[in-house]
Structure 1
Amino acid sequence: MDPRSGYHSGGQPGLEVVNQPDLEVAGQEHLRYGQPLPEARGGESMYSGMETTLPKYSGHPGHYVSAASDPSYAPLPPGELESPQKGGRKRLLWIVGAAIAVVVILAAVLGGVLGSRAANSSSGDEAAPSQTGGGGSGGGSGNSGQNQPGDTASNTTTPPQLIRPGSGLSVTGWRKPDGDVEAYLFYQDPQDGLRYSKCDTGRRTSTNDSACWESPVSFNSFANAGTHLTATTLLYGDEYQPQIQLFYAGYKTRLLGININEGEKPSVREDTVNHLNIYTILDSSMTAYWPWTIYQDSTGALHHVRNQLDGRFGPQEEKWDNNKLNTTALTASRLAIVPMVPDFSRIAVKGGYAVFYQDSDEKLAVAVTDLDSPELAKDYVLSWPTTTLPSITLPKRAPIAAFSVARPSDLLKTVDTFVLYLDANADINVLYADGYSTKWKTAQPDALKGADADTDITCLTMATSNYNAAKTTVPLEPPSSDVRCFFQRGGQVIEVKLQDAKTAKWVVVGSVPIP
Structure 2
Amino acid sequence: MANYNNGYQPGLEVSQPEYYSAPEALGPNDPRDPKYNDSYYAPHALPPTHPGDPKYPYAYGVVPGAGEPPTATTYGQPPATYPGPPPTGELHADSASPARSSKKKWWIIGGIVLILIIIGAVVGGLFGAGVIGSKKSQSADNDNDSNTTGTGASPSSSSAAPSATPSPAARFIRQGSPLTVAGWESPEGDTEIFLFHQDADNNIHYSRYYDGSTPVDTLNDTLWAEPVAVDTFATANTRMAATLIIQGTAFHPQVQIYYSGGESRMLGFNVNLRSNPTSGEDSINNSRLVAQKGSAAGAYWPWFTYQSAAGELMEVRNKLGDAFQSSSTWDVRGLGITTQGGSAVVMVPMSAIFRNMAVEGGFGLIYRNSQGVLALAVPRLDQGEVAEGYARSWPEEDLPTIAVELDAPIAAFSVARPNDSSGRVDTYVLYLVGTDIHMVYTAGGNAWKQVEPTTLRDVDPDTDIACITLGSSISNSNGKTQRIPLPGRNTKCYFQRGGVVQEVVLSGTEWTEGTVVPIP
Same fold? TM cut 0.5: yes
Q: How many angstroms apart in 2 are the aligned matches of 1:407 and 1:484? A: 17
Q: Would the aligned equivalents of 2:151 and 2:228 in 1 still touch at CA under 8 Å?
A: no
Aligned amino acid, residue 474 of structure 1: Q
* 1:404-415 mapped onto 2 (5 Å cutoff): 404-415=414-425
Aligned amino acid, residue 352 of structure 2: P
1:134–1:338: structure 2 CA closer, same or farther, 3 Å change rule? farther
Which of 490, 507, 513 is the aligned partner of 1:508? 513
Q: Could you tell me which residue of structure 2 aligns to residue 182 of structure 1?
A: 192
Aligned amino acid, residue 480 of structure 2: T
Quote how far apart the aligned CAs of 1:34 are: 3.0
1:428 counterpart SS class: strand
Q: How many angstroms apart in 1 are the aligned matches of 2:364 and 2:220? A: 31
Q: Could you tell me which residue of structure 1 aligns to residue 403 of structure 2?
A: 393
Quote how far apart the aligned CAs of 1:202 are: 3.5
Q: Would the aligned equivalents of 1:170 and 1:187 in 2 still touch at CA under 8 Å?
A: yes
Q: Which one has the largest radius of gyration?
A: 1
* 1:448-487 mapped onto 2 (5 Å cutoff): 448-487=456-495
Q: Could you tell me which residue of structure 2 aligns to residue 432 of structure 1?
A: 441
Q: How many angstroms apart in 1 are the aligned matches of 2:396 and 2:220? A: 37
Cα deviation digits, residues 154-187 of structure 1 (max 9, x gap): xxxxx99321111100000111122011000000
Q: How many angstroms apart in 2 are the aligned matches of 1:353 and 1:422? A: 23
Moved more, 251-260 or 452-461: 251-260
* 1:310-329 mapped onto 2 (5 Å cutoff): 310-317=321-328, 319-329=329-339
Check if 1:365 corresponds to 2:378. Answer: no
Which of 285, 288, 291 is the aligned partner of 2:299? 288
Structure 2, unaligned stretches of length 5 or more? 11-70, 75-88, 93-104, 113-145, 160-168
Q: Would the aligned equivalents of 2:316 and 2:333 in 1 still touch at CA under 8 Å?
A: yes
Q: Would the aligned equivalents of 1:170 and 1:185 in 2 still touch at CA under 8 Å?
A: yes
Quote how far apart the aligned CAs of 1:352 are: 0.3
Q: Could you tell me which residue of structure 2 aligns to residue 20 of structure 1?
A: none
Q: Could you tell me which residue of structure 1 aligns to residue 13 of structure 2?
A: none
RMSD across aligned positions (CA): 3.2
Query: RCO (CA 8 Å, sep 6+): is it higher in 1 or 2?
Result: 2
Aligned amino acid, residue 365 of structure 2: V
Q: Would the aligned equivalents of 2:265 and 2:292 in 1 still touch at CA under 8 Å?
A: no
Q: How many angstroms apart in 2 are the aligned matches of 1:369 and 1:321? A: 15
1:382 counterpart SS class: coil
Q: Would the aligned equivalents of 1:143 and 1:222 in 2 still touch at CA under 8 Å?
A: no
Quote how far apart the aligned CAs of 1:139 are: 6.9
Q: How many angstroms apart in 2 are the aligned matches of 1:307 and 1:480? A: 29
Q: Could you tell me which residue of structure 2 aligns to residue 231 of structure 1?
A: 242
Structure 1, unaligned stretches of length 5 or more? 1-29, 37-56, 65-101, 110-132, 147-158
Q: How many angstroms apart in 2 are the aligned matches of 1:323 and 1:383? A: 24
Check if 1:356 corresponds to 2:373. Answer: no
Which of 239, 251, 257 is the aligned partner of 1:246? 257
1:227–1:33: structure 2 CA closer, same or farther, 3 Å change rule? farther
Aligned amino acid, residue 446 of structure 1: T
Quote how far apart the aligned CAs of 1:62 are: 8.5
* 1:98-497 mapped onto 2 (5 Å cutoff): 137-138=150-151, 140-141=153-154, 161-202=171-212, 211-317=222-328, 319-373=329-383, 375-386=385-396, 388-423=398-433, 425-435=434-444, 438-497=446-505
Aligned amino acid, residue 414 of structure 1: R
Aligned amino acid, residue 8 of structure 2: G
Q: Would the aligned equivalents of 1:289 and 1:339 in 2 still touch at CA under 8 Å?
A: yes
Q: How many angstroms apart in 2 are the aligned matches of 1:134 and 1:465? A: 41
1:355–1:461: structure 2 CA closer, same or farther, 3 Å change rule? same
1:353–1:58: structure 2 CA closer, same or farther, 3 Å change rule? closer
Quote how far apart the aligned CAs of 1:225 are: 1.6
1:374–1:422: structure 2 CA closer, same or farther, 3 Å change rule? closer
1:495–1:381: structure 2 CA closer, same or farther, 3 Å change rule? same
2:259 counterpart SS class: strand
Quote how far apart the aligned CAs of 1:311 are: 1.0
1:211 counterpart SS class: coil
Quote how far apart the aligned CAs of 1:190 are: 0.5
Identity over aligned pairs, percent: 38
Quote how far apart the aligned CAs of 1:489 are: 0.8
Aligned amino acid, residue 472 of structure 1: K
Quote how far apart the aligned CAs of 1:469 are: 1.9
Aligned amino acid, residue 303 of structure 1: M
Aligned residue pairs total: 383
Q: How many angstroms apart in 1 are the aligned matches of 2:421 and 2:186? A: 25
Quote how far apart the aligned CAs of 1:481 are: 1.4
Cα deviation digits, residues 396-420 of structure 1 (max 9, x gap): 2210000000001112321110000
Q: How many angstroms apart in 2 are the aligned matches of 1:62 and 1:385? A: 46
Q: How many angstroms apart in 2 are the aligned matches of 1:362 and 1:494? A: 28
Moved more, 328-337 or 483-492: 328-337
Quote how far apart the aligned CAs of 1:134 are: 9.6
Moved more, 383-392 or 412-421: 383-392
Quote how far apart the aligned CAs of 1:229 are: 1.0
